[in-house]
Amino acid sequence: MPSFRVVLSCLFVVAGTVHAQVSAPAATASLRQTIQAITMEPAVARAHWGISITELDGTSMYAMNDGQYFMPASNTKLFTTATAMALLPIDEHLNTKVIASGHIQPGGIYEGDLRIVGVGDANFSGRPVLYQRYVPGKPVLPRDELRYINELADQIKAAGIASVKGDIVGDDSLFPYDPYPASWAIDDTPWYYGAPITGLMIADNSLDLTIYPGATVSAPATASTNPALPYYTVEMHATTSAKGSETALDIQLPIGSTTIRVYGSIAMDAKPYLQEMSIGDPARYAALALKTALEARGIPVTGTAKPKHTEHYETSFSKTAMEPLPTLAASTAVPEVLAMHSVPRCLPGTGGAPQSICTLAEHTGAPLYEDVVVTNKISQNQHAELFLRQLGLFIAGEGTTAQGARVVRTFLTTKAGIDPQDFVFYDGSGLSGHDLVTPRAATRLLTYATTQPWGARWKASLSVGGEDGSLRGRFPDAPLKDHVFAKTGTLGEARALSGYLDCKSGKTVAFSIMVTTHTPLNSDDMKAMDRIVSAIAAAQ
């Protein structure tokens, strides 16, 4: 049995101090006064603010409530991806395979099931990788979300398969079936950002639903999905309203349902309404996509498209996640499901013998590091959650949310030197409303990273002010453009921004600004946050 590292490479307590308005001596009186004035403005004074600014050697320069808890939102991804950079074989590739366990009869008749086996490759989709910056005026090409499915189907046909007498199985059992972190809100699950987390991920586990007005007033609206697979049924209750009227649509997709219900109205002259929906069972969806691709190539499939999951039981997330790991070395336990990832290629024209398995087709994904870039630049939730599962699998031997959180906690407390009372994470992306962190924990991580061999590459994965990712529209002008490297975070009435800042003096500092309980009626808190960043850059 190969080592777990080899197999994976083949795949791929002191309470926080409360600061009401305390500043380190390094901060100028002018900066202290400016920040205090900004946070006391009527539009944002009711919000709860937390700020930590430090030298890269960790020396505190300014602190406001830096030991209090805040909801980090997508700042959680900083902690997940930093742990991934430190502990995973970050330059390895993940290989999604189609496994044969049947036999090829004369004429290319394959008897048996074909399994498309997921390895937690987040970019098994049509996304361009390496990450590509948006360029104004340059058209954004449509993504072919089933590109790699089609390439697998081409390989199967090239192997001489003419028909399949069996099922197409989407196998996501690399990770125990735990599709939603327990603390995610149920009303997030229909949408792309709340899509399930599975070992076999396809097209970000989401699809596009487009709703069109009918030809006449009162006519039913129509809908289409992209990709156009017969996975969801759209039950249309929305009608067409008069030209110039307001479009008001309500889209419902209960967990476990394959029926999307659409209510309300869309104006006759309205543009098509686009909504990104989650795919409820990505393994079944991937199997359906491969079955459809084979049939489009003249390879009939007698069976159905179905999923294969591994059951998951967990008595206490908190107990598991809080228990320290004795080591952060790669686990020596090799789950049985990984054995299939080292199976040989099928011999040309023979397929697998009745009691053996072989690889019929294979897709090699991008290096894991490139997905760190995608995850941090565009703040992709499912990708961050997959890193958490990979960490749990690689270090703790089980790819669950709880084991991944356990790895992250052990790393942050024993390696990065973060106070164990300064954070608690229930997921890897920050979509959980139960995640809590102090601003000083974020700056501690940021300064620690500058001392690590992976730190420069991790910094390069962050959004750049005025240039790309979630900061493309912020800090668009000099002197901040190209000098803010940070991760954004937004969840309900919480917002966060943490990263590195090049200051007027040429000094680079680490900063974390977090705000909770701001008003949902405007974005004045974000504007205030950006003004604080500007004040820091000018003062240092």
To the question of pTM greater than 0.85 for the whole model, the response is yes
193 contact partners, CB below 8 Å, separation of at least 6: 381, 431
> Three-state SS for 193?
helix
Distance of alpha carbon 101 from alpha carbon 15, whole angstroms: 56
* pLDDT at site 354: 46
In the chain, residues under CATH classification 3.50.80.20 are 93-202+281-368
Contact 361, 152 (CB under 8 A): yes
In the chain, residues under CATH classification 3.40.710.10 are 16-70+438-540
Distance of alpha carbon 257 from alpha carbon 276, whole angstroms: 16
* Architecture of the 93-202+281-368 domain: 3-Layer(bba) Sandwich (3.50)
* pLDDT at site 330: 87
* pLDDT at site 486: 98
Distance of alpha carbon 459 from alpha carbon 6, whole angstroms: 28
Output the six-digit token pair for 355.
Answer: 């009691």
* pLDDT at site 281: 97
Structure letter (DSSP) for residue 440: H
pLDDT tens per residue across all 540 residues of the chain = 344 344 444 444 323 333 334 444 456 789 999 999 999 999 999 999 999 999 999 999 999 999 999 999 999 999 999 999 999 999 999 999 999 988 888 999 999 999 999 999 999 998 888 888 877 777 777 889 999 999 999 999 999 999 999 999 999 999 999 999 988 999 999 999 999 999 999 999 999 999 999 999 999 999 999 999 999 999 999 999 999 999 999 999 999 999 999 999 999 999 999 999 999 999 999 999 999 999 999 999 999 999 999 988 878 898 999 999 999 998 876 555 555 567 888 876 554 454 468 899 999 999 999 999 999 999 999 999 999 999 999 999 999 999 999 999 999 999 999 999 999 999 999 999 999 999 999 999 999 999 999 999 999 999 999 999 999 999 999 999 999 999 999 999 999 999 999 999 999 999 999 999 999 999 999 999 999 999 999 998
Residue 357: what residue type? I
Residue 367 dihedral angles phi and psi, to the nearest 5°: -60, 150
DSSP states of 297-313: TT--B-S-EEEE-----
* pLDDT at site 26: 55
* pLDDT at site 355: 47
Closest by CA position to 368, among listed 380, 382, 386: 386
* pLDDT at site 29: 86
* pLDDT at site 15: 32
Can you name the CATH fold of 16-70+438-540? Beta-lactamase (3.40.710)
Closest by CA position to 221, among listed 185, 272, 286, 184: 272
Contact 377, 461 (CB under 8 A): yes
* pLDDT at site 333: 67
Distance of alpha carbon 372 from alpha carbon 367, whole angstroms: 9
* pLDDT at site 17: 34
Residue 481: what residue type? K
